[in-house]
Structure 1
Amino acid sequence: MPLIYKPYQATLANKEGQKLYYPRLVKFGKMVNTQKMAELIAEKASLTAGDVHNVIRNLMSVMREQLLNSRTVRLEGLGTFTMIAKANGKGVELENKVSSSQITSLRYQFTPEYTRAANGSATRALTTGVEFVHIKDVAGSFVADDAIDKDPDDDNKPGGGSGEAPDPAA
């Protein structure tokens, strides 16, 4: 299945005063949660959905444990996870004055795995062979035509979606 995009207009103008249009990816259906991922993986493996769900939960637990032990975690074919500490402007002038009290937040950094071709270009594993389709070319398959221009995700919040899409197999 291709990635579906639609045009959106930038809220800020460029140097010439124009508000340009850009492609924005559209999400359809519900977010896929851990249980659904387990069911989908189980269809491709000789395990039950419960077994896969248990492995995913244990993976998250072990990853957290390793990251909190100052380790980097690499999942081949997916990417690398690293813990990052932020000090957010709480710098000090002398090296010997650096302390953990300067750390204001922790976050995980994910770097997708990639392969480098002979010509020097890099390809990320999760985006190899991706195709793009304009929403108007598939609108009848997913949403009513009057819903194409209405996007509840235009508030720029991460995640979300536009509700459940009809099952194309039905």
Structure 2
Amino acid sequence: MAFFKKVQQKINNLWYPQSITVGKPVTTDQVADRLSQISTVSRADTYAVLKDLGKVMGDYMAQGRTVKLEGVGTFYYTAATNGKGVDAPEKVKSTMITGVRVRFIPETTRTSSGKVATRSLVSNEIFWEEWGGKDPGSTDGGEGEPENPFE
């Protein structure tokens, strides 16, 4: 089940549901364990592949390639600039790039009419429940607000 909380936007003072994550992020070990349970690959082999996946993807993307993982989606780089454009194409330089972002597009399947039928990583069976302050998957009660997985 997925969770949401009620959030009031400062710009218009209206209320909206906002999705949240609960508990600690799932670890590489946990993903390796789960993959080994549903495949013929051992946990150790799965773990080793997962540990190297980021480096391999980064190497390909550094070569200007996108990385498409079947059943997951496509990863690619975009360049961030300082926000100051120039008035002629010959003045555009690589030094204007101040950072790199990794972008992700989930894999989709389409119907014969071209409409999106499914997106990977988005279950057709998501059940939304309002956040009540406890992590149902936690062994310690999970009191309080959800953790920020990006800290």
TM-score (norm 2): 0.79
Q: Distance in 2 between matches of 1:94 and 1:43?
A: 57
Shift of 1:151: 2.8
Q: 1:78 to 1:108 in 2, by over 3 A?
A: same
Question: Structure 1, unaligned stretches of length 5 or more?
Answer: 161-170
The answer to whether the 8 Å contact 1:5/1:132 transfers is no
C-alpha deviations, 1:96-150, integer Å up to 9, x for none?
A: 121111100011111111112245431312214132232379x79568xxx6xx5
Q: 1:142 to 1:65 in 2, by over 3 A?
A: closer
Q: Distance in 2 between matches of 1:71 and 1:132?
A: 36
> Which is further off, 123-132 or 54-63?
123-132
| % identical equivalent positions | 33
Q: Distance in 2 between matches of 1:141 and 1:97?
A: 56
For residue 26 of structure 2, the aligned residue among 29, 32, 49 is 32
Kindly tell me the number of residue pairs found equivalent between the two proteins: 147
Higher strand share: 2
Q: 1:142 to 1:42 in 2, by over 3 A?
A: closer
Equivalent residue number for residue 125 of structure 1: 120
**1:159 maps to 2:149:** yes
Q: Distance in 2 between matches of 1:75 and 1:140?
A: 31
TM-score (norm 1): 0.72
Shift of 1:13: 4.9
Superposition RMSD in Å: 2.9
Q: Distance in 2 between matches of 1:120 and 1:71?
A: 26
Question: Structure 2, unaligned stretches of length 5 or more?
Answer: none
Higher helix share: 1
Equivalent residue number for residue 113 of structure 1: 107
Structure of larger gyration radius: 1
Residue 59 of structure 1 aligns to a residue whose secondary structure is helix
